[in-house]
Chain A
Amino acid sequence: MSTAPKVGVFLCECGDKIKGNVDMGLLAQKVVETPDVAFCKTMPYPCLKPGIAGIKKAIADAGLDRIVIAGCSRRLMMKKFENEMKDSGLDVGQIAMVNLRDHVALVHPGLEPAQRAEKGVKLIRSSVADLAAMVPGLRFQISIEKPVLIMGDGIATYAAAQQFARHGVESIMALSLDDEEEIRLLHERYPGERQNFGRVRNIMKAVEESPLVQRITVGDPIAKNGKTGNYSVSFENPEGGAPIAVEAGLIMACLDGEMESPGPEFGHNGDSVICQSEADEHLWTVGPYKGNVVFWINDVEAGTPEFAHLSMRGAWSLGRAMVERSDKCNVTIFHNQDTPLPLSAEERRISRKLGIQWVAYDGKICPTVQARNLTYLVKDDGLERELPWDQLILSPVRVVGRHAIDVASLLNLDHKEGRFLRAYHAQVRPENVGRKEAILAGSAAYPCDLSQALAQGRRAAIKVAETIDLSKDGKLFSPAIVSVIDLEKCIGCGQCEELCECGAIQVVEGIGGAFGRAVDPLICTGGGTGAAACPEQAMYLQNASTIQREAAAGALAKELAPGEVAAFGCTWGGYAAADNVAKSGLAMDPRLHMIYVPCVGQIDATVMAKALLDGANGVILFGCVPEECHHSYGVDHGWSRVNMLKKLLALAGFDRKRIALAHADFNNPEGFVKTVEGYTEIIAGMEPIERSPQNLEKLHAIYDTTKNSRVRLLLSAALRRPWESVYRGAQRHALEYDQEFAGVLAEEFAQTRLTRALKAQGEPQTIKDLAVHLDADKDYIAEMLMEMASEGKVNMIHKQRKAHFMV
Chain B
Amino acid sequence: MLKFRINDIDVEAEPGWTVLETAREYGIEIPTLCFHEAVQASGACRLCMVELREGDWTKLVASCVYPAKDGLNVYTESERITNVRRWIFEMLLSECPASQEIRDMAAKYGVTSTRFAIKDPEQDCIMCGLCTRVCAEVVGVHAIATQSRGVYKRIGSPFMKPNEACVACGSCVSVCPTGAMARRIDLVRGKMEENQTNAA
Contact = CB atoms under 8 A, between A and B. Distances in A.
- The reply to whether A and B meet directly (CB within 8 Å) is yes
A269 interface: no
B9 interface: no
B200 interface: yes
A662 B168 contact: no
Interface string B93-109: 00000001000000000
Contacts of A379: none
A678 B27 contact: no
A181 to B, nearest CB: 34
A792 interface: no
A639 B174 CA distance: 27
A45 B24 contact: yes
Interface stretch (A337-345, A506-514, A669-677): A669-677
A662 B171 contact: no
Given A50-B21, A625-B193, A662 B198 contact: yes
Interface string B163-200: 00101111101111001001001100000110111111
B192 A625 contact: yes
Given A571-B169, A583-B174, A666-B170, A50 B197 contact: no
Contacts of A45: 21, 24-25, 37
B71 to A, nearest CB: 19
A580 B25 CA distance: 26
A667 B192 CA distance: 10
A667 B173 contact: yes
A44 B28 CA distance: 11
Among B18, B36, B193, max chain A CB count under 10 A is at: B193
Among B37, B100, B175, max chain A CB count under 10 A is at: B37
Contact of A626 (B186, B193, B199): B193
B36 A675 contact: no
A666 B166 CA distance: 14
Interface in A560-602: 571-572, 576, 579-580, 583-585
A584 B21 contact: no
Nearest to A672: B197
A48 B199 contact: no
A51 interface: yes
B199 A678 contact: yes
Contacts of B139: 430
A80 B38 contact: yes
Given A76-B138, A80-B37, A665-B196, A427 B29 contact: no
Contacts of B138: 75-76, 79-80
A53 B182 contact: no
B92 interface: no
A50 B14 contact: yes
Interface in B37-64: 37-38
Given A49-B16, A571-B169, A630-B168, A675 B25 contact: no
Interface in A48-62: 48-51, 53
Interface of B is mostly: loop
A757 interface: no
A642 B179 contact: no
Contacts of A626: 193
A470 interface: no
Contacts of A431: 140
Interface string A74-91: 011101100000000000
B170 A580 contact: yes
B141 interface: yes
Contacts of A627: 193
A665 B173 CA distance: 12
B169 A572 contact: yes
Interface string B134-163: 100011110000000000000000000000
Nearest to B134: A76
A384 interface: no
Interface string A32-45: 00000000000011
Nearest to B140: A430
Nearest to A635: B200
A73 interface: yes
B42 to A, nearest CB: 16
Contacts of A15: 24, 29
A75 B171 contact: yes
A628 B138 CA distance: 21
A50 B22 contact: yes
A639 B36 CA distance: 37
Among B27, B168, B176, max chain A CB count under 10 A is at: B168
B11 to A, nearest CB: 10
A675 B199 contact: yes
Given A430-B139, A663-B197, A665-B197, A44 B14 contact: no
Interface string A630-668: 100000000100100000000000000000111111111
B33 interface: no
A661 B197 CA distance: 11
A677 to B, nearest CB: 10
Given A583-B179, A660-B200, A665-B197, A76 B36 contact: yes
A679 interface: yes
B200 A576 contact: no
Contacts of B37: 45, 47-48, 76-77, 80
B17 A50 contact: yes
Contact of A639 (B18, B27, B200): B200
B65 interface: no
Interface string A614-634: 000000100001111010000
Given A45-B24, A48-B37, A50-B21, A76 B196 contact: no
Among B169, B175, B193, max chain A CB count under 10 A is at: B169
A125 B186 CA distance: 36
B100 to A, nearest CB: 8
B126 interface: no
B21 A48 contact: yes
B175 to A, nearest CB: 6
B13 interface: yes
A11 to B, nearest CB: 15
Contact of B170 (A80, A576, A625, A661): A576
B38 A77 contact: yes
Contacts of B168: 427, 572, 628, 630, 666
Contacts of B170: 75, 572, 576, 579-580, 666-667
Given A628-B168, A660-B200, A666 B24 contact: no
Nearest to A682: B199
A579 B182 CA distance: 13
Given A45-B37, A48-B24, A433-B141, A663 B174 contact: no
Contacts of B182: 580, 583-584, 667
B88 to A, nearest CB: 20
B21 A49 contact: yes
B140 A674 contact: no
B196 to A, nearest CB: 5
Nearest to B171: A75
Contacts of B14: 49-50, 53
A436 to B, nearest CB: 11
Nearest to A43: B25
Contacts of A667: 170, 173, 182, 185-186, 192
Given A433-B167, A667-B186, A76 B174 contact: yes
Interface string A284-321: 00000000000000000000000000000000000000
B27 A49 contact: no
Contacts of A585: 100
9 contacts: A44-B25, A45-B21, A49-B14, A50-B14, A430-B140, A579-B174, A625-B193, A660-B199, A668-B196
Q: Give 6 closest A-B pairs by Cβ, nearest first.
A: A671-B197, A666-B170, A47-B37, A50-B25, A76-B38, A661-B200
Given A76-B134, A625-B195, A663-B200, 6 more contacts: A45-B24, A48-B21, A583-B174, A583-B182, A667-B185, A675-B199
Interface of B: 13-14, 16-18, 21-22, 24-25, 27, 29, 36-38, 100, 134, 138-141, 165, 167-171, 173-176, 179, 182, 185-186, 192-193, 195-200
